[in-house]
A = this chain, B = another copy of it.
């Protein structure tokens, strides 16, 4: 981490007010490096950026078909969502289709990420449940997988403790992560994520490789390749479900469709697949900033890696070099890609 360069700058009054250092890898499905900045070999926790990899068993196992999951619901299984009413309803429906309810979720409870949604709930006199947790769709996917695995047994008894590394559900999820990244997870650092599942430290190079595989299917076993294709199509069909109102992932995929799949994770991580270019991307911001810094880097890489028409290029450039506006609507500075990503 020591020598990663500045890749995002926040400017005010003509000077750099704050700066973010980080690293990224762009890799093809054969593992060849397309371009890199900083240390891409240090294992980092990918957090929620790899939800699509963790959702592969949901589809490959047949659970998604068994319980009739829709595109919206499959997109939610890959989501860090805003807790808006559509997200909450979709998570509840996934559980109901599998024959259980929100009591099965082990992700914990928090108020919706989106403040507008929080205030709307408060105005209705509501309080949050685990369904409002930004990870509720991923967990509903784990629960669906567990319900299939439970067979004719007691579903709730089987599901208990599904967030633990040695639970049969989590073993399947971890195996998919290992298969898609090609990184030996038994030998790496393991932490506990915000929603209580294990998170394994994986180098950016391997994460980018996994996303190149997800985008192309090359290097994945047939069941995973088919699952990745279906999950990408689901997110492209329902990009609102993967994040929500005013969120970067939703806005970019609403605009650019299936030409990319991108997903933010906590602590400054971002991963993406560019299927047509055959490339995968993984970004880590050293300081863990997962809003402004990651998004600017991802936008700058989209500008470089996707063939965009003028309108789309302008749309993306406004995300890699954007105005900072104060409470009176006055432009007070800019946030922009810097150093190796600076576009002159």
Q: Is A157 an interface residue (CB 8 A)?
A: no
Q: Which of A99-127 contact B (CB under 8 A)?
A: 106-111, 115, 118-123, 125
Q: Across the interface, do A326 and B191 meet the contact criterion of CB distance under 8 Å?
A: no
A16 CA to B42 CA, complexed, in Å: 11
A326 touches B115 (CB 8 A): no
Q: Are A10 and B267 in contact (CB under 8 A)?
A: yes
Contact mask for chain A residues 227-245; partner B; CB cutoff 8 A; 1 contact, 0 none: 0000000000000000000
A107 surroundings in chain B (CB, below 8 A): 327-328
Residues of B within 8 A of A267 (CB): 10, 17-18
Q: How far is the CA of A285 from the CA of B326 in the complex (A)?
A: 21
Which residue of chain B is the closest to A290 with respect to CB atoms?
B18
Distance to closest chain B CB from A191 (angstroms): 3
Chain B residues contacting A328 (CB-CB under 8 Å) are 106-108, 195-196
With contact pairs A17-B267, A288-B17 given, residues A111 and B122 touching in the complex (Cβ less than 8 Å): no
Instruction: Decide: B106 and A111 in contact? CB cutoff 8 A.
Output: no
Contact with B along A43-59 (1 / 0, CB 8 A): 11100000000000000
User: By the criterion CB–CB under 8 Å, are B287 and A19 in contact?
Assistant: yes
Chain B residue numbers with a CB within 8 Å of A20 are 287
Within 8 A of B (CB), among A304-343: 326-330, 332-333
Interface residues as binary, A176-208 with B (CB distance below 8 Å gives 1, 0 otherwise): 000000000000011111111001010000000
The yes or no answer to A60 lying at the interface (CB within 8 A) is no
A215 within 8 A of B: no
Q: In the bound complex, what is the Cα–Cα distance between A201 and B18 (angstroms)?
A: 13
* 8 pairs from A and B in contact (CB 8 Å cutoff): A18-B268, A20-B287, A108-B326, A122-B122, A193-B326, A195-B328, A196-B328, A287-B293
